[in-house]
Structure 1
Amino acid sequence: MLSILLSSCDLFEYKSGEDSEEENPIIASVGNQSLKRSEVTFLVTEKSTEEDSINITNRYVQSWIRKQLMIKEAGSTITFDETELNRKLLDYRYALMIYEFEKAYINDHIDSIISENEIKSYYNENKSNFSLKEIIVRTNFYKLEKNNQQNKTLEKLLSSDKQENKANLKQIALNHASNYYIEDSTWVRFEDIIVNTPLAENNNKVELLRNNRTLKVDDEIYTYYFKILEYKLQDQIPPLDFVREEIAKILMNKKKVALVEQLQKDIYKRAQENNEFQIYD
């Protein structure tokens, strides 16, 4: 029923000219269906090693065999209505043609700019549709070795909200911290900022945030400091900045849908004006 497998990249030394059996041999067969050498040459690139080429091609051949066996089994088990099958194939072909046409039209005509006013307007009108599935925070984070002499200074600076302290905190972060995060205005997932710290093991993070603005935890080597500037809990409405990218994608998709709908209307109207179709009773 079938015969393979491939053992060398010589398989892909396909010659031009007549498609003789010697130049383009069959490499696998199932019943009366055959897979020829020329049909698998696309799998191998110049960068592929001989071993990679053999493995990739063997996987493809095995996949082809399984598909042909399923087709053979289906054909021998179920009686297909050929007319209906051909109609479905034609419908799929036409749907694919329309999809490719619409995609090309969108690429040529879409206005890819989403304004800040559009984003704000959508956010304000649809706030109730956004709900956090996780805790997010605006925070500063510092990781210093426990014996670092700057720890006391850092703790003192973090206990105060004086604006002039920011420059000193930044210098400690740059010069002494093993890791840090000092983006005041950016919202991040709390789980992301505490990963690989002792806080990750805390099972009551909500109470932790509600009762503390400065968090300090230690492990054997490091001390970790978190200055919580603001937080939002699960099920609360996220701030605009956190969902800005999501909203931009939603608005872009709406533009695409509107563009296609207008295209369909324009084509219909033009055909109607030119008497390109008739509707019969």
Structure 2
Amino acid sequence: MSLTNAGLWNDEGVSQRTVAANGLEFPVLEAGEGPLVLCLHGFPDHARSWTPLLRRLADQGYRAVAPTMRGYWPGGAAPDGRYGGSALGQDVLALIAALGRDTAHLVGHDIGARAAYSAASLEPDRIGKLVGLAVPYGPRLLTAFVADGDQQRRSWYMFYFQTPLAELSVPLDDFAFIDRLWREWSPSYVLSDAERARLKASLAQPGVLTQTFGFYRQLFGAPPEDPAIQALEARANGPINVPSLYLHGAEDGCMAAYLSEGMEELFPKGLEREIVPRAGHFLHLERPDEVGTRILGFLGRS
């Protein structure tokens, strides 16, 4: 595992380079020095949305790193074909090692939250603290996809992504599909034109849409045939023995906030769960000061 192409990009104290880990060359954004905090993005999003939090973490004495998740760049197709939770968790653990650390704190949003949960389930000794945003943990969520009409309505896009029509329709009319998701998921927030254009450009790169759909297609697909992968997936869905914080926007149009109720029993080392008022799915962008303060307070507490 190695670091390459350091310093290719700089935006007010946030630099970009490539980190070789787990068979992939991950583009990462980073800022600061100190204890490592990995910030993991979801869909339809990219690492840039963590920029405000990266700067704030750096100002408070952390080394903050936001990797691009597997599948989200042209060369980022899963080398093993896997986009399930255990693969995401293995990426996170490999990135910690590639960044020269034994342990790290994790902050994950949406699919990034799933990656954080998986890493902490697989190797809790390598995770200091965990913060999950917008996607709860545990079997209640999967049950909701098949038995909860409200969540099925919210998750319509996941079912649509199972079809080949998705690759054709999502880019139409300047990614109007993506605009709709952001509008429905965060009804009180409007992403700036400049950042919206950057996000769409990242999704328009060759192969990226099909690769990112892999997360959803494997979520609802047949279980892996390899018994070793089956066992790994089971471990990646076990109890999380890491002190954890969970934040969910009260106005989230993607995931129902009530699905996070009862998560505490899956976190033997403790879980603090909060519903953030006046925030939707992208709460780290909608309420950056409030969410950032809550994350920093949690990470800094002994």
TM class by smaller structure: under 0.3
TM-score by length of 1: 0.18
TM-score by length of 2: 0.17
Which has the higher Rg, Structure 1 or Structure 2?
1
Which structure shows the higher strand fraction?
2
Which structure shows the higher helix fraction?
1
